[in-house]
Chains A and B, each alone.
Chain A
Amino acid sequence: MNKLFGKYKKQEVLAAGFFLAPDVIGLLFIYVIPIIFVLYLSFHSWTGFDSIKFIGLNNYLVLFKDPLWLKSLRVTFFYVLLYVPIVTLGSLGLAVLVNTNLPEIKLFRTVYFLPIVMPLVVAAIVWEFIYMPSYGFLNYIFDIFGLSKHAFLGSENEALISVIIVSTWRQLGYYMVIYLAGLKDIPKMYYDASKVDGANPLKQFIHVTLPMLKPVITFVVVVNLIFALQDFDPVYVLTKGGPNYATYLQTYYIYEKGFRFLKMGLASSASIILLIIILTGSLAQLKIFRGGEYE
């Protein structure tokens, strides 16, 4: 026993075991075993009730030929392509806007942060009401400005962006707070120095603020990407993946195949691919942003 522990104190090792046991066992059962299980299932055919049949790569082959899955891959791609820049830049804009010392600025910060307090599905319900084609408030605004009424969630072209607006509205304040903390961390002397050099506010923003915020921006982009690839609730409430699969995200495909059509194997292979997309996406972004540091 003493040899095994060597330089470690037995009492300390036992205490560590006691402290770590609940979380490590939990992580094992909630993450590690399921991820192995899902990989196993992706090579099998199973409804969740009958016996499991090994079918090799068949699920993946079916997936790559399934027009619905390919469509959902495209939808997810566009979702991320729109959502990530809108939230990343929008929240940065808000942070810059509220980073002043007006006496009432705290009130504005609070109001901007408030949407995060509304549960996401509740936000989706309220926005559905705002989006209503015939009597919705947004169409009322459009009407005032002499624009024609829109179907929003009912239109194949507008549904995806309408869903993105809901998620964006809810998340902006959260990332604003993160950016704001980053902005406050930038030493004031950098701004003073650049002012002496004759930089205007725009130049200061490009040459001082942005480079100093780079780690925060990287964080926000990566977190947003992971979040966007896993968005589900607003789609479930607002469009159920429609109209004509215009908002059929990868997560919705997994949900429907696995839990409505009970194709556990097929849904598992889709899960594996989503995992690969999320991992490569976030690693690539970390790499891109990090690469810039050595310029």
Chain B
Amino acid sequence: MNRNTIKNLVFRKILMRVLLIIVAIIMFFPFLWMVSGAFKPSDEVMEYPPRIIPSEVRFENFTELFKEVPFERYMINSFIVAGSITLSSLLFHSMAGYALARLRFPGRRFLFIGILSTMMIPFYSIVIPLFIIIRQVGWYDTYLGLIIPWIPHAFGIFLLRQYYITFPKELVDAAVIDGCSHIGVFFRIALPLSKPILAALGVIFFISNWDRFLWPLLITSSAEMRVVPLGVVQFKGQYVAHWNLVLAGATVACIPTIIIFMMLQNFIVKGVKTTGIKG
């Protein structure tokens, strides 16, 4: 290697790091700005030129936030809703996926294609009838109304079917020979062995359902039923001039998903890959 190529290589490495850092600042800045604003006194948050570090760290913003609105209730609601959807989805989709991949029954191909074709129906094209149906059933402003519509999901079924197709056949056959029923095989062997993929999918399900906004906006009306994203937006509508409180609310709204992300980062990345590549 001559000196020029070495120089070139060093130069490229430096250039790349600079680029990486610039992008990192853009990606991270909104988080920083949100947290910084959440601790500022109310006049400082609208100060110009803006200061990055607050002159004092005001924890009172958070106590005020919880005094103004039942934010803890929103949190509990979001946990109940996103949690129930995630757990039921994982159970039902692995059941359906297993049947489609492993069991022989008449009309299997037809049913599989039928399930896949519901994937092409966008939520916005069914939101009106869905709203009418849920209201008619009496689930308006209830947990059931928030939860049930998001459980059936063709994509989840599809992913788990793909998983069970590659599932080792010997394990299942051995159990069947031992006199285990198909339902027994699934619950005692297949399901426990699919923990890694269920964890990866579960994290993705939970985060995307924590995120829902339009549906809760339509289907709930009382504060007791409000979920976090809706709560934050409505809080912002009421306290337009109090950006420090609004940003405190925004910060609190991020905490659960950030904790999940930090604990389960590898599962999330795996989940994105499974839902992405194999789709």
Say whether A and B bind each other: yes
Q: Which residues of the partner chain B approach A112 to less than 8 Å between Cβ atoms?
A: 23-24, 27
Render A234-271 as a binary contact track against B, CB cut-off 8 A, 1 for contact: 00110000000000001100110011000010011001
Q: List 5 A-B contacts (CB under 8 A).
A: A113-B269, A114-B261, A115-B27, A178-B272, A259-B218
B27 near A114: Cβ-Cβ < 8 Å: yes
Given A27-B115, A30-B152, A173-B27: A121 and B229 interface contact (C-beta under 8 Å): yes
Shortest CB–CB separation between residue B174 and chain A, in angstroms?
A: 17
Of B60-68, B125-133, B192-200, the one with at least 4 CB within 8 A of chain A:
B125-133
B151 near A26: Cβ-Cβ < 8 Å: yes
Q: Which residues of A contact B (CB under 8 A)?
A: 4-6, 8-9, 11-13, 15-20, 22-24, 26-27, 29-35, 37-38, 41, 48, 94, 97-98, 100, 102, 105, 108, 110-123, 125-127, 129-130, 132, 134-135, 137, 140, 143, 169, 172-175, 177-178, 181-182, 216, 219, 223, 226, 229-230, 232-233, 236-237, 250-251, 254-255, 258-259, 264, 267-268, 271-272, 274-275, 278-279, 282
A30, B186: Cα distance in complex, Å: 26
A135 near B46: Cβ-Cβ < 8 Å: yes
A117 near B254: Cβ-Cβ < 8 Å: yes
Render B261-279 as a binary contact track against A, CB cut-off 8 A, 1 for contact: 1000100010011001101
A125 near B106: Cβ-Cβ < 8 Å: no
A114 near B31: Cβ-Cβ < 8 Å: yes
B133 near A34: Cβ-Cβ < 8 Å: yes
Q: Which residues of the partner chain A approach B16 to less than 8 Å between Cβ atoms?
A: 97, 100, 102
In addition to A182-B277, A255-B214, A268-B128, 6 A-B residue pairs with Cβ atoms within 8 Å of each other are A9-B104, A16-B104, A16-B108, A111-B27, A130-B30, A275-B125
B28 near A114: Cβ-Cβ < 8 Å: yes
Q: Does B243 contact A (CB under 8 A)?
A: yes
Interface residue range, chain B: 35 or more
Given A30-B149, A34-B129: A22 and B154 interface contact (C-beta under 8 Å): no
B207, B233, B273: the one within 8 Å of A117 (CB): B207
B20 near A98: Cβ-Cβ < 8 Å: yes
B122 near A226: Cβ-Cβ < 8 Å: yes
A6, B107: Cα distance in complex, Å: 13
Render B224-251 as a binary contact track against A, CB cut-off 8 A, 1 for contact: 0000110011001000000100110010
A9, A37, A118, A236: the one within 8 Å of B30 (CB): A118
Shortest CB–CB separation between residue B140 and chain A, in angstroms?
A: 12
Q: Which residues of the partner chain B approach A118 to less than 8 Å between Cβ atoms?
A: 30-31, 254, 257
Q: Which residues of the partner chain A approach B31 to less than 8 Å between Cβ atoms?
A: 114, 118
A12 near B182: Cβ-Cβ < 8 Å: yes
B92 near A230: Cβ-Cβ < 8 Å: no
A110, B268: Cα distance in complex, Å: 11
Shortest CB–CB separation between residue A1 and chain B, in angstroms?
A: 13
Q: Which residues of B contact A (CB under 8 A)?
A: 13, 16-17, 19-20, 23-24, 26-31, 33-34, 37, 46-50, 92-93, 95-96, 98-100, 103-106, 108, 111, 115, 118, 120-133, 148-149, 151-152, 154, 157, 181-183, 186, 207, 210-211, 213-214, 217-218, 228-229, 232-233, 236, 243, 246-247, 250, 253-254, 257-258, 260-261, 265, 269, 272-273, 276-277, 279
A37 near B129: Cβ-Cβ < 8 Å: yes
A111, B29: Cα distance in complex, Å: 10
CB nearest to B17 among chain A residues: A102
Q: Which residues of the partner chain B approach A268 to less than 8 Å between Cβ atoms?
A: 128-129
Q: Which residues of the partner chain B approach A278 to less than 8 Å between Cβ atoms?
A: 120, 122, 125
A238, B246: Cα distance in complex, Å: 14
Q: Which residues of the partner chain B approach A24 to less than 8 Å between Cβ atoms?
A: 96, 111, 115
B50, B92, B104, B151: the one within 8 Å of A137 (CB): B50
CB nearest to B135 among chain A residues: A48
Shortest CB–CB separation between residue A280 and chain B, in angstroms?
A: 11
A110 near B265: Cβ-Cβ < 8 Å: yes
Shortest CB–CB separation between residue A215 and chain B, in angstroms?
A: 9
